[in-house]
């Protein structure tokens, strides 16, 4: 089955900047989108985990997607996070994202109520068949409590609109099984596993690290695709400590803290996420300083 690839390279799982009063700062968001494109990012992923989708209300969610589509203006794909643990709401949000001009959808596995593997097939097919635009499945069991098994991915790939999976389970063996079972495009959902997943045929990464190092993350994938395996590996290992530091607390707490410390002014996370503990903040500061990324350095 031949399907069109949504993007190849490094897509940024973009943060949603907040004003001091907790309202999404759409003007700053547009500036971040512009900066990302200028610095090599291959796709904008909006309203994902890093974008705090779980605490955006409906109007905010669609406003952020609209801002991403308008600012990107077709230069790179916009992938809208429209997953939900309520299938009907996921359908509605996906239809709205399509109407706003999103190029593809990112659909997380249902969280809290979870689902059986049979339920996952019915859920994802229902949204994909309603929206009728490319769908990237999002497998992140550490956040949702449910894993999409390789056989289930292969079954879902039979749907003409389901074209890819963001694999953030951390399980390279299962990712390899997915690659063996079907031709679905795979994107690493963990920055520390980008090159290992590229070695299994992945098309790139949906990256948290790209929020602060878009060019370097792009280059890591681009070098691999150009056959420069050693160069790609060198970038992966060079920034491994920084990538890991961005997960020393619950995402997106560390990356927002890091961006603010770098002078990128993205504001706070929304409750129940809060500022990092003092120990984590000190560690992030130390790592940023080590890489010369603290503001004023």
Number of other CB atoms surrounding residue 236 within 10 Å: 23
Active site (catalytic) residues: 138, 166
Summarised one tens digit per residue, pLDDT across range 11-35 is: 999 999 999 988 999 999 999 999 9
At the fourth CATH level, the homologous superfamily of domain 9-228 is: Aldolase class I (3.20.20.70)
Burial of 74 per CB tally in 10 Å (0-12, 13-18, 19+):
exposed
Residue 294: which of 262, 258, 255 has the closest Cα? 262
Distance CA 243, CA 260 (A): 16
* Confidence band, pLDDT 50/70/90 cuts, at residue 296: low
Hunting for tokens 């991403």 — which residue is that? Answer: 68
Q: Give phi and psi for 171, each to the nearest 5.
A: -100, 95
- Check residue 232 and give its pLDDT: 98
Residues 6+ apart with CB under 8 A from 106: 45, 48, 79, 80, 81, 82, 83, 136, 138, 166, 206
Report how far residue 151's alpha carbon sits from residue 18's, in angstroms, rounded to the nearest whole number: 40
Q: For residue 185, give the nearest of 162, 208, 209, 212 by alpha carbon.
A: 162
pLDDT at 297: 52
Whole-number average pLDDT of the chain:
96
Mean pLDDT check: name the lowest of 37-41, 111-115, 127-131, 198-202: 111-115
Give tens-digit pLDDT for 33-69. 999 999 999 999 999 999 999 999 999 999 999 999 9
Give the predicted TM-score (pTM) of the model. Answer: 0.96
- Per-residue pLDDT at 140 exceeds 90: yes
DSSP-assigned letter for residue 55: G
Extents of the domains making up the chain: 9-228
- Lookup: tokens for 209: 């690290």
């Amino acid at each position: 089955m031949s399907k069109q690839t949504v993007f190849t390279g490094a897509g940024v799982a973009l943060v949603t900047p907040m004003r001091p009063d907790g309202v999404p700062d759409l003007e700053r968001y547009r500036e971040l989108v512009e900066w990302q494109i200028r610095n090599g990012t291959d796709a904008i992923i909006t309203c994902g985990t890093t974008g705090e989708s779980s605490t955006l209300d409906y109007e905010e969610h669609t406003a952020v997607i609209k801002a991403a589509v308008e600012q990107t203006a077709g230069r790179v794909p916009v992938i809208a996070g429209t997953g939900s643990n309520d299938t009907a709401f996921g359908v509605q949000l996906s239809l709205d994202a399509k109407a706003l001009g999103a190029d593809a959808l990112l659909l997380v596995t249902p969280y809290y109520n979870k689902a059986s593997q049979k339920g996952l097939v019915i859920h994802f097919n229902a949204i994909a068949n309603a929206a009728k635009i490319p769908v990237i499945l999002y497998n992140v069991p550490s956040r949702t409590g449910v894993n999409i098994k390789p056989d289930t991915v292969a079954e879902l790939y039979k749907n003409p609109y389901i074209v890819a999976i963001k694999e953030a389970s951390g399980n390279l063996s299962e990712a390899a099984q997915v690659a063996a079972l079907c031709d679905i495009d795979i994107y690493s959902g963990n920055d520390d596993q980008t090159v290992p997943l590229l070695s299994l045929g992945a098309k790139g990464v949906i990256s948290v690290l790209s929020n602060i190092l878009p060019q370097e993350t792009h280059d890591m994938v681009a070098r691999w695709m150009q056959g420069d395996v050693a160069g790609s590996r060198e970038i992966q290992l060079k920034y491994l400590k920084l990538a890991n530091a961005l997960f020393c607390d619950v995402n997106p707490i560390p990356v927002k803290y890091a961006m603010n410390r770098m002078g990128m002014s993205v504001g706070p996370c929304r409750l129940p996420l809060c500022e990092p503990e003092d120990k984590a903040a000190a560690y992030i500061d130390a790592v940023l300083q080590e890489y010369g990324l603290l503001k004023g350095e």
